């Protein structure tokens, strides 16, 4: 009889342990900025290796998508490359949410061209005039007699909003601009088109692109950290209220020495 009881209880005990182990894993969803995406993905991988109770899912989509998702409760952390807007804060309060920012890194938005383009730098005014339609040929800004192909991010992008505010003075982008949904898509388009100009976060620069100086200063970790580069911005992770549990531990990790090393390795600028 005792033997039979042992055989009966063993699978039940195993099932109980499996359920308990499954319940111990906390699901956390991060969504938003494609600029922040490389940091979020690497940080999540390293964090989960060290914290077996954490199950982090990381998605892109753009800063606006991330903030909309945290407002409707479909994500736990909204990655964003821009500040939350007053209208979004107001909408959050209407829904009983208190959206709070955590700055996790610094970034510079670099105007980029194909490496074959001889132009080495532009003023903010020249970039604005290109993007708003005043200039349409590279010869108008000291380059070759070649049509300028303007590449921009779409309106859900935090990079787009930061670029619009910092460079365009909130003027509208010319209607013939090619709109892309991610930093990588902008980089790919510009690298394949000799006459193109675009803009990306520091982490997306590569030998396939040439970063133009802005007002005589080239975007780099050093110039962003020193605040000399004129098109710099913080990168955020937003939460509903003060973070708790696994969310708090993850944000603490991202801001820790190990997390900030990941920020640097992904091409962005650490906070310290």
Q: Scan for tokens 């009889």, then name that residue.
A: 1
Q: What are phi and psi of 201, to 5 degrees?
A: -70, 160
Regarding whether 228 and 246 lie in a shared domain, the answer is no
The enclosing domain of 87 has a CATH number of 3.40.190.10
Which tokens in the block code for residue 111?
């105007």
Regarding whether 254 and 157 lie in a shared domain, the answer is no
**Is residue 13 assigned to a domain?**
no
Regarding whether 255 and 206 lie in a shared domain, the answer is no
Residue of 58, 103, 63 lying closest to 79 (CA atoms): 63
Residue of 76, 82, 84 lying closest to 59 (CA atoms): 76
Regarding whether 207 and 221 lie in a shared domain, the answer is yes
Residue of 106, 107, 104 lying closest to 43 (CA atoms): 104
Look at the chain and report how many structural domains it folds into.
Answer: 2
Q: Scan for tokens 């209407």, then name that residue.
A: 94
196-201 and 99-113 beta bridge pairing: antiparallel
Regarding whether 157 and 117 lie in a shared domain, the answer is yes
Q: Scan for tokens 């005589």, then name that residue.
A: 216
How far apart, in whole angstroms, are the C-alpha atoms of residue 183 and residue 157? Answer: 9
Range of the structural domain that residue 183 is part of: 108-232
- pTM attached to this predicted model: 0.82
How far apart, in whole angstroms, are the C-alpha atoms of residue 229 and residue 210? Answer: 16
In tens digits, what is the pLDDT along the chain, a chain of 272 residues? 434 333 333 343 343 443 344 445 799 999 999 999 999 999 999 999 999 999 999 999 999 999 999 999 999 999 999 999 999 999 999 999 999 999 999 999 999 999 999 999 999 999 999 999 999 999 999 999 999 999 999 988 999 999 999 999 999 999 999 999 999 999 999 999 999 999 999 999 999 999 999 999 999 999 999 989 999 999 999 999 999 999 999 999 999 999 999 999 999 999 97
Regarding whether 256 and 183 lie in a shared domain, the answer is no
């Amino acid at each position: 009889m005792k033997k039979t009881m042992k055989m009966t209880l063993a699978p039940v005990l195993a099932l109980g342990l499996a359920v308990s182990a499954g319940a111990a894993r906390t699901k956390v969803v991060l969504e938003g900025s494609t600029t922040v995406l490389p940091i979020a993905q690497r940080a999540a991988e390293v964090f989960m290796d060290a914290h077996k109770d954490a199950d982090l899912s990381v998605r892109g989509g753009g800063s606006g998508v991330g903030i909309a998702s945290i407002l409707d409760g479909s994500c736990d952390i909204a990655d964003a490359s821009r500040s939350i807007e007053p209208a979004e804060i107001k909408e959050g309060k209407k829904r009983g949410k208190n959206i709070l920012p955590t700055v996790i890194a610094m970034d510079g938005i670099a105007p980029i061209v194909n490496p074959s383009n001889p132009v080495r730098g532009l003023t903010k005014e020249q970039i604005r005039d290109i993007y708003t339609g005043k200039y349409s040929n590279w010869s108008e800004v000291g380059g070759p007699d070649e049509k300028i192909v303007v590449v921009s991010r779409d309106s859900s992008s935090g990079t787009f909003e930061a670029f619009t505010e910092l460079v365009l003075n909130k003027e509208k982008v010319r209607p013939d601009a090619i709109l892309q949904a991610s930093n990588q898509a902008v980089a790919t388009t510009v690298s394949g088109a000799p006459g193109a100009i675009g803009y990306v976060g520091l982490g997306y620069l590569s030998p396939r692109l040439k970063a133009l100086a802005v007002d005589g200063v080239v975007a780099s970790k050093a110039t962003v950290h020193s605040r000399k580069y004129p098109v710099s911005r913080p990168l955020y992770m937003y939460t509903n209220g003060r973070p708790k549990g696994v969310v708090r531990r993850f944000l603490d990790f991202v801001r820790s020495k190990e997390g900030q090393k990941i920020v640097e390795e992904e091409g962005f600028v650490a906070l310290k």
